[in-house]
Amino acid sequence: MAFLRAVWRFVMGVKDVLVLCFLLLFFIGLYGALSFTGGERPVKSHSGALVLDLDGVVVEQPDEVDPAELLFSSEAPTRQYRLRDIVQALEAAANDNDVKAIVLDLDGFMGGGQVALSRIGEALDRVRAVKKPVIAYATIYEGDSYQLAAHASEIWVNPLGGVLLAGPGGSSLYYKGLIDKLGINTHIYRVGTYKSAVEPFMRSDQSPEARDARQALADILWQNWQDEVKKARPQVALASYTQNPVAVAEAANGDMSTAAQAAKLVDKVGNRTAFESRIAEISGEAKDSGGPDFASIPFDDYVRKTEHKADGAIGVLTVAGEIVDGDGGSGMAGGDRIADQLRQALDEKDLKALVVRVDSPGGSVTASEQIREAILTAKTKGLPVVTSMGNVAASGGYWISTASDRILAEPSTITGSIGVFGIIPSFEGMLDKIGVNADGVKTTPLSGEPDLAGGLSDDFNRIMQLGVEDTYRRFLNYVGKARNMPPEKVDEIAQGRVWAGGTARQLGLVDQFGGIEDAIAEAAKLAKLDPAKAKPYYIEPKPDPFTQFLTELMTPKSARVRGKDILARHAARQQAQLKQIMADMQMLASSGSVQAYCLECRAHVPTSANISRTDGDTGIATWLTAILERK
């Protein structure tokens, strides 16, 4: 029997290898065909409703996906929609007679950041201004999805759903108790009273300073969100609905869809069949089977149809996600990669100005400095530089902004966090618990340092703290020079404190309000070009047709949209929190450099990297997980 089982396993192994080889050959052939044709697919031209089926997140710049990960991953990737693609499609649709309406299908929407969604809201308002219907549908509306839906002329909700508006805020995880139990000694070097990025590793709760700063920021963001919603839908009873949700639920006997309609948050309660019938009244019946029951225009097709050739003289460099050394993984802003892209564009293109679009909570100081130096290269060539801040431009995100002539942000942009830190863990306490000790010899005070097994010496700790303080002074000097402030004045508004864009403008950290289009126009003025005629040139890698095909193939709708009700969404949050624990443990183990990073800001940068870090060494995180499972 043993022999037969071995033969059977061998046969099945050969079968699996042959299947894998066949798949690889198939995809290689497909890649060749797509490359030969330029990856272009014909775009059907017909009338109907433009469908924004936002099953995923809105981002400044989609992640560069590894085709091998797509092929061999057990999970479908989260769909990412580029902000400028959505805005471009909506602005084209406003003047396109073939587009009869806009459909916002938000059942699988996972967020996009307050600033980005405000920009989409402005584009939706332009569509409504030309008397075209904008109709939204979801089972559950939350903060991000309702911010978009508020700009619709008609909002539908499923009878089994409702509107849940929690507002900014919530709990963060603090690991001091766990670290003590494991016997890990965290050596923390930081500057900034409000630099709370390290607090999860040194406290069991947030400090009073961090609490005050986070509360002030949350209050401003919440007020800005409410102002936008009230302006878009003046009739909503927003205050009573959000401030006394239990009374609202009790009055409706738990029927939250009816409660939302009573508060005028939604206009219609109905299932998807009724919703699609309503769209068909506007756009006509579906001409093809397999799609919605109304004449529709797929979003991806429409983006390709209306895409403008970005070959202008205003370079636009995007820095999105955590700033890391090297090329960076998916969802990361790699210092080497971004600096190389900019220098190559400066060599190959006749650019007249540069706009740096920042949507980052910061990260490595060395990578941030590498990007800043590359931007300074553009200035040495005579190019004016304007920074356009997105959802977040904090810590390292502000570090690179100091190379600019002008900085534009939005009132809800999260910026500042001017402070630095470093963390090195040592494991002498953990090893002592299992009877392992460290001993050795030295030839200098720094021999063997950092000694992760025996503990770090006072000399080493002092040198590290002095280095962090020097980096902070450098940061203050960069900001002071850029903003025409003495470093002492910058220090008063720095100290790691996070500011909303409106406050940052009052403090002098930002010059004016405006989005990416305003930044391009401002850069054109500085370059003495006509802002009305100025066109962008996006400094980014060209999308690979093979990877694009695989992404669409491996991201079926059934995989993207899981549970739609409130319990399913809470389950998804629970999974995300577990992944966040692993990411925080990895940060403790592998930060590896002085960081200009805003921990509380990362939730406002909607990339897959914020859910689960996949780059770097995860060995310590896996090891800690195994320890916890045995306890």
pLDDT in tens, 424-463: 888 998 988 889 988 999 999 999 999 888 999 999 999 9
Residue 195 annotated in active site? yes
Question: If you average pLDDT over residues 111-129, what whole number do you get?
Answer: 96
Using the structure block, give the residue that is written with the tokens 């500011």: 499
Helix (H, G, I), strand (E, B) or coil at 190: strand
- Nearest CA among 52, 62, 75, 57 for reference residue 116: 57
The per-residue pLDDT for 550 is 58
CB 608, CB 80: distance < 8 Å: yes
The per-residue pLDDT for 522 is 97
pLDDT in tens, 567-577: 666 666 666 66
Question: If you average pLDDT over residues 20-25, what whole number do you get?
Answer: 59
pLDDT in tens, 364-423: 999 999 999 999 999 999 999 999 999 999 999 999 999 999 999 999 999 999 999 888
Please report, for residues 111, 327, 564, the alpha-carbon distance to residue 78 in angstroms, rounded to integers and kept in the order given: 12, 22, 16
Please give the Cα distance from 626 to 615 (Å, whole number): 20
Between residues 14 and 317, the one the model is more confident about: 317
The per-residue pLDDT for 545 is 60
Q: Is the pLDDT score of 481 beyond 90?
A: yes
Considering the chain, what is the average pLDDT of its residues?
84
Q: Is the pLDDT score of 291 beyond 50?
A: yes
pLDDT in tens, 485-525: 999 999 999 999 999 999 999 999 999 999 999 999 999 99
Q: Is the pLDDT score of 172 beyond 50?
A: yes
Least confident range of 35-44, 280-289, 468-477, 576-585: 35-44
Give ∠ CA 524-529-532 in degrees, rounded to 5.
75
The per-residue pLDDT for 18 is 61
The per-residue pLDDT for 590 is 57
Please give the Cα distance from 209 to 213 (Å, whole number): 6
* Burial of 207: CB neighbours in 10 Å, binned 0-12, 13-18, 19+: middle
The per-residue pLDDT for 330 is 72
Please give the Cα distance from 31 to 587 (Å, whole number): 37
- Active-site residue identified among 257, 395, 401, 426: 395
pLDDT in tens, 180-235: 998 999 888 988 888 777 888 889 998 998 899 999 999 999 999 999 999 999 99
Q: Is the pLDDT score of 67 beyond 80?
A: no
Give ∠ CA 147-151-155 in degrees, rounded to 5.
90
- Nearest CA among 78, 67, 114 for reference residue 579: 78
Amino acid of residue 464:
M
pLDDT in tens, 40-50: 444 555 789 99
Q: Is the pLDDT score of 619 beyond 60?
A: no
Distance between start and end Cα atoms, the chain: 40
Helix (H, G, I), strand (E, B) or coil at 146: helix
> How many CA atoms are closer than 13 Å to the CA of 184, on its beta-carbon side?
20
pLDDT level of residue 624 (50, 70, 90 thresholds): very low
The per-residue pLDDT for 629 is 37
**E strand or H helix that includes residue 590:** helix 566-590
Amino acid of residue 572:
A
- Number of residues that this document lists for the chain: 631
pTM of the model: 0.86
Question: If you average pLDDT over residues 337-360, what whole number do you get?
Answer: 96
H-assigned helices in 185-334: 208-232, 238-243, 245-251, 256-262, 272-283, 299-306
CB 325, CB 335: distance < 8 Å: yes
The per-residue pLDDT for 151 is 98
CB 82, CB 61: distance < 8 Å: yes
Q: Is the pLDDT score of 350 beyond 90?
A: yes
| DSSP secondary structure letters along 456-477 | --HHHHHHHHHHHHHHHHHHHH
**CATH architecture, range 48-169+228-306:** Alpha-Beta Complex (3.90)
Question: If you average pLDDT over residues 104-129, what whole number do you get?
Answer: 95
Please report, for residues 108, 299, 346, the alpha-carbon distance to residue 527 in angstroms, rounded to integers and kept in the order given: 43, 35, 15
Question: If you average pLDDT over residues 3-20, what whole number do you get?
Answer: 61
CB 265, CB 241: distance < 8 Å: yes
The per-residue pLDDT for 477 is 97
Please give the Cα distance from 478 to 472 (Å, whole number): 10
Residue 381 annotated in active site? no
pLDDT level of residue 287 (50, 70, 90 thresholds): confident
**416 is written with which tokens?**
């500042």
- Pairing of the two strands 362-364 and 79-82: unpaired
**172 is written with which tokens?**
């963060």
- Active-site residue identified among 195, 364, 401, 404: 195
Please give the Cα distance from 122 to 383 (Å, whole number): 30
Please give the Cα distance from 398 to 375 (Å, whole number): 13
CB 119, CB 89: distance < 8 Å: no
Please give the Cα distance from 562 to 417 (Å, whole number): 36
Percent of residues, the chain, with pLDDT higher than 70? 79
Strand partners, 358: 319, 389
Q: Is the pLDDT score of 556 beyond 80?
A: no
Percent of residues, the chain, with pLDDT higher than 90? 59
pLDDT level of residue 78 (50, 70, 90 thresholds): confident
Question: If you average pLDDT over residues 126-154, what whole number do you get?
Answer: 96
